Structures are given as structure tokens and as C-alpha cells.
Amino acid sequence: MAQQEYIRVPKGLKNVIVDQTRLSGVDPTGQHTIYRGYTIDDIGANASFYEAAHLFLYGHLPCEDELKEIKKKIDYERGNIPEKLFDALKLAPVTHPMYYGSYGVLLLGQYLAPEWDFSDETLYDHALKLIAKLPVIFAAGWHLAHTGTLIRPDPSLDHATDVLRMIIGRMPSKVEARAFESSLVLYMDHGFNASTFTVRVVASTLSDMYSAIAAGIGALKGPLHGGANEKAMVMLLEAKKQAEEKGVPLEEYIVDYIKAKLAKKEKIMGFGHRIYKLHDPRTDVAAKYIKQLKDGEWWLKVLKKAEEVMWQEKKLPANIDFYTAVLYYQLGIPIPMYTPIFAMGRIVGWVSHYIEQVKDNKIIRPTEEYVGPTGLKYKPMHERCKQ
Ligand SMILES: CC(C)(COP(=O)(O)OP(=O)(O)OC[C@H]1O[C@@H](n2cnc3c(N)ncnc32)[C@H](O)[C@@H]1OP(=O)(O)O)[C@@H](O)C(=O)NCCC(=O)NCCS
């Protein structure tokens, strides 16, 4: 039999192109994130959630009728959650809310799609159902666990306003709602990041969309991926507290704080990126909205100072999570909800990648290099466990 040829790739698949996508990526200069041909600066600053979701799913920005249609569908689906799902969330223990997303999505799949097929009708219908319903699962799970109350969706509001209202438990201002909406758009997609790749791996086995999304949520939860926005805010608040105790302004103290952490070989969450080595363009859009919110100018001074010292010490740029951490803090969002919000945006990318994968599928199944022992022989217990 002919010898199989193998290609060895770097650990972590660093710099390995595994497939093509028409959804998003970084342009050849490495400076711009591209959303289906548009720069993220453009879409993040100008597009509504509905417009950006339409762009990802259908490949173009919607015309008036298309916009009306996608808005109607998303708002309807957000308002129609199986009551049994809320009942199940009422029984859930108080844990990190990312768990509510993982099993909430699986339950939703059991209720809404017990059988799966790959027709366009099924794919796009359930893609929109997931985009609309995932935020409700997270917000409901969080409030039920922490206050015992259920804040229901209001389909008469637009998606971002309603989702933010469900999270913070009050009606946001227009400026707050737009800042939040833009952050969802900034999080929507980013090439073959770890959670998206996870979704594509599950899709490639021809499993259903709900199972793939639940797996993606699991991958996003980790602090090296989506969990970084929470860790970044915890760190900034710790620095703030220490600065107050020492009577030094945070925008000065952050320098010593970061240097001390680096000296202890600790990672600074919200810095570094697999793709962006000079600058993450998404931070510019987020900065625009941070400026408009509470203490915006001051927070930007702190962020810029942190970036300066990280560049000086490690040549690492801040990533989107460093900026959204502050933006969500300004909006009064509880820290454990930061990563779920990342998922509420990224769901659009995940379902779009699921569809792209299954429409031109090849199972994703790499090969390992086995480096363990060989030739061992089974021995009965009395022989293998002699004293
Ligand atoms: C995002 C991340 C996982 C990218 O990992 P990566 O592409 O494998 O980059 P590397 O880990 O090879 O980083 C290169 C060097 O910078 C260091 N480094 C990377 N991120 C760092 C950080 N946030 N703080 C301090 N040092 C960092 C690494 O330790 C490594 O140093 P070494 O060469 O001395 O070993 C990594 O930068 C990280 O853990 N960042 C913090 C978590 C985070 O913000 N994640 C959100 C990403 S959007």
C-alpha cells in the first residue's frame, strides 16, 4: 500500500490557512478587518444590527424591503421563546452565564428542530431564530439566577435596544443603545477564530446548527478568546482600586500596574492577537462610542496609557476586548455578561460560517503524531499491580 503523505503544521495552527471563506477576514496589509468586502470601520460605525446580519447571511446590505423583512423576522423570533425554556432556566444553578447559552441553545434545538435537514429554508430560518433568541436566553438566565425575575423580550423595540434593556433592566438611551449595537456588529465575525473554527468543525460532521453553536459558545468562554473582555475589566477595576488607595490618578498608575504584572510574567488580558500584530482596527470604532458614554474622555486616557506601556514593554497592541470591556462597564452591564454579549454578536458569524461550511463540505479531521509508547501488552490486575 502506498505510504500516506502528511504535512506538519505549527502548534495552534498558527499562520496556517485551512480553507477559504467569503464572509470575513483581514486584508493583505493586515490592518483592516473585512466584512464581506466592507471595512469594519465602515460597517461598525454605520450599519445597524439588522443590516450587518443581512450582509453576513445574504452577502449584501439590504434594500428597504429586505431590511423590513429581516427586522420583522428577528423581532418576532426574539419575542417567541418556548415557555419551557424559561422554566428550565429557572432551575439552573447560579453559574457563569455562558453555561445558560450552551445548554439553552441545545434545549432550543430540541424544541425547534428535533429533526435536521440542509435545505435553504431550514438553514436560513434557524440561523435567524438563533440570532434572535440567543440574547434572550443569556439575559433571562442571568436575571433568573440573580434576582429570580424574568425580564421578557419586547418585540416592538429594535433588537439592540431590547437586548440591552433585558440585560441592564432599564430602558437605555439612544446613545447607549447605539454604542451597544455597534459593539455587537464589531463582534459579529472574525475569520477562522477559535469559536468559529469550532462551529465549522461541528458543521463539517453534518451535525445540526444548534449543536454547532453550543460548541462555539463553549470555545468562546475561554479567557484566551471571548472571556478576555471580562478579565480585562476585572484587571482595570483592580488597578483603579489600587490607584485610589494610593491617591494616584489611574491614567498614571496604570503604567506601574502593568509593568508589575509583566515582571511577574502575567498576561495582560485584552492585549495581543493571533492576526493583528500592530493594531486592531475594531478598537478605533469602539473608542468613538466610549467617548460618548459616561467618563468617556477619562477612560480613553487610561486605555491609551495602557496601550503605550504595553507597546513599549511587549510590542503588543490592545485588542477589541480591552475596549468593549470599558464600553460595557460604562453601560452598567454586569461583568459576567460581557462574554455572553460577545456571543450575541458572534452568533451572526457562527451561523453564516455553518451555512458556508455545509454548502461546500469536507469533514475537518486532522491527523496527529502519536508520541506515546507502543508494544505494551494487557496484563491481568494481579500481575500489573504487584506491590
Ligand atoms: C490572543 C492571544 C491568545 C494570541 O496568542 P498567540 O498568537 O499564540 O501569541 P503568542 O502567545 O505567541 O504571543 C507572543 C508573545 O507575546 C506574549 N503575549 C501575548 N499576549 C500577551 C499578553 N496579553 N500579555 C503579556 N504577554 C503576552 C506571549 O507570552 C509571547 O511571549 P514569548 O514569545 O516570550 O513566549 C494572546 O495574545 C493572549 O493570550 N492575549 C490575552 C488574551 C486576550 O486578550 N484574548 C483576546 C483575543 S481577541
Among 321, 353, 360, 382, the active-site one is: 321
Report, as an integer, the average pLDDT of 2-19: 90
Angle between helices 338-359 and 209-220 (to 10 degrees): 140
Burial of residue 316 (CB within 10 Å: 0-12, 13-18, 19+) is middle
Question: pLDDT tens for residues 281-318?
Answer: 999 999 999 999 999 999 999 999 999 999 999 999 99
Q: Which range has the worst mean pLDDT, 84-88, 101-105, 381-385?
A: 381-385
Q: How many CA atoms lie within 13 A of 299 on its CB side?
A: 24
Cβ pair 33, 42 in contact under 8 A: no
Distance between Cα 272 and ligand 1 center (Å) = 5
Is the CB–ligand 1 distance for residue 273 below 6 Å?
A: yes
> Which three three-digit cell numbers place residue 179?
454604542
In the chain, residues under CATH classification 1.10.230.10 are: 228-330
Contacts of 46 (CB under 8 A, 6+ apart): none
Shortest CA distance to 31 belongs to which of 219, 273, 233, 242?
Answer: 273
The finding on whether 272 has its CB within 6 A of some atom of ligand 1 is yes
Does residue 224's CB lie within 6 angstroms of at least one atom of ligand 1? yes
All CATH 1.10.580.10 domain ranges of the chain, comma separated, are 19-223+337-359
Q: Which residues contact 341 (CB under 8 A, 6 or more apart)?
A: 138, 167, 180, 183, 184, 187, 324, 328, 333
What mean pLDDT comes out for the span 78-90?
96
With a 6 A CB cut-off, is 277 part of the ligand 1 pocket?
no
Active-site residue flag, 321: yes
What one-character DSSP code corresponds to residue 372? S
Q: What is the mean pLDDT of the chain?
A: 95
Of 12, 2, 9, nearest to 275 by C-alpha is: 12
Q: Which positions ≥6 away from 383 have C-beta within 8 Å?
A: none
Does the annotation mark 273 as catalytic?
yes
| pLDDT for 1 beyond 60 | no
pLDDT per residue as tens digits for the range 132-170: 999 999 999 999 998 899 999 999 999 999 999 999 999
Question: pLDDT per residue over 279-289, tens digit each?
Answer: 999 999 999 99
CATH superfamily, domain 228-330, is Cytochrome P450-Terp, domain 2 (1.10.230.10)
Model confidence at 79: pLDDT above 90? yes
* Whole-Å CA distances, 141 to 8, 166, 167: 43, 11, 10
Task: Decide: residue 185, CB within 10 A, 0-12 exposed, 13-18 middle, 19+ buried.
Answer: buried
Percent of the chain with pLDDT over 70: 99
Query: What superfamily in CATH does domain 19-223+337-359 come from?
Result: Citrate Synthase, domain 1 (1.10.580.10)
pLDDT at 194: 97
